[in-house]
Structure 1
Amino acid sequence: MPAQCTTKDDVRVEIDRIDQALLNLFAERHRYVTRMAEIKTDPHEANDPARIAAVIDRVRTRSLALDLDEDQAELVWRTLIDWNINYEKGIIAARRRAD
C-alpha cells in the first residue's frame, strides 16, 4: 500500500510494478482491437461515435467511484481510442487493397 512506502525508491518499485501490469493489459486489449479490425469490413466502421460516447461515460463514472480524476481518465481513454481508430482503419484498408 502507498502508506507503507517509506522512501522514493519504495514508491518507484511499486509504480514500476503497476506500469508492467498496465502494459500487460494494454497488450491484451490491443489483441482484441486487432481482432475487431479483422471482423470489420469498412474503414468507416472504426469510428463509432455512439460507442465512443458510451465508453467515455463509463470511464468517467468508474473513475469517480475509484476516486480518480475523471478528466484525466477521459484524456487517457480518448488518446487510446483515437489511436485504436487509426490502427483499425489501417488494417481494414490494407486488407481491402489486398482483396
Structure 2
Amino acid sequence: MTAVKSPAECQTKEDVRAEIDRVDQALLALFAERHRYVTRMAQIKTDPHEAYDKARIESIVEKQRERAIGLDLDEDQVELIWRTLIDWNINYEKGIIVARRRAE
C-alpha cells in the first residue's frame, strides 16, 4: 500500500489523480454507510409523507453550510450537494414506504 500524499506532496498530475481516487473511494464508502441509515429510516417511517420534513431539511442544510465555512468550502456548492442528496433520499424513502404499504 502506498503512503497517502498531502496535496503539497503531489508532484505530478498522476499523484493528484491517485489521491483524488483514494478520497473518492472513501466518499463512496461513506455514502454507502449513509444509505444504509436512510434505508433503515424508510423501514421505520409508516407514511410516505414522512419522507419530506421541511424543517428538518432546512436544519440539515444550514448545519452543512456552517460546517462548509469552517472547512473553507463554498457553502453554496455544499448546499447544492446536500439538497440533491436529500431529494434523492426523500424519493427513495417514499418508494420503499409505498411499496411496503402496497404489500400489506
Same fold (TM over 0.5): yes
Q: How does 1:44-55 map to 2 (within 5 A)?
A: 44-55=49-60
For 1:85 and 1:47, the matched residues in 2 are separated by 6
Deviation at 1:71, TM superposition (A): 0.6
For 1:5 and 1:53, the matched residues in 2 are separated by 38
TM-score relative to the length of structure 2: 0.94
Residue of structure 1 aligned with 2:27, choices 1, 22, 25:
22
Residue of structure 2 aligned with 1:43, choices 43, 48, 60:
48
For 1:15 and 1:69, the matched residues in 2 are separated by 18
**What 5-or-longer segments of structure 2 have no aligned partner?**
1-5
Aligned length: 99
Counterpart position of 2:65: 60
CA offset digits 1:17-55 (Å, max 9, x no partner): 000000000000000000000000000000000000000
RMSD between superposed Cα atoms in Å: 0.3
**What 5-or-longer segments of structure 1 have no aligned partner?**
none
Could you say what secondary structure the match of 2:11 adopts? coil
Q: Displaced runs of 4+ in structure 1, greater than 4 A?
A: none
For 2:35 and 2:15, the matched residues in 1 are separated by 30
Deviation at 1:10, TM superposition (A): 0.2
For 1:71 and 1:98, the matched residues in 2 are separated by 41
1:88 equivalent to 2:93? Answer yes
For 2:61 and 2:25, the matched residues in 1 are separated by 24
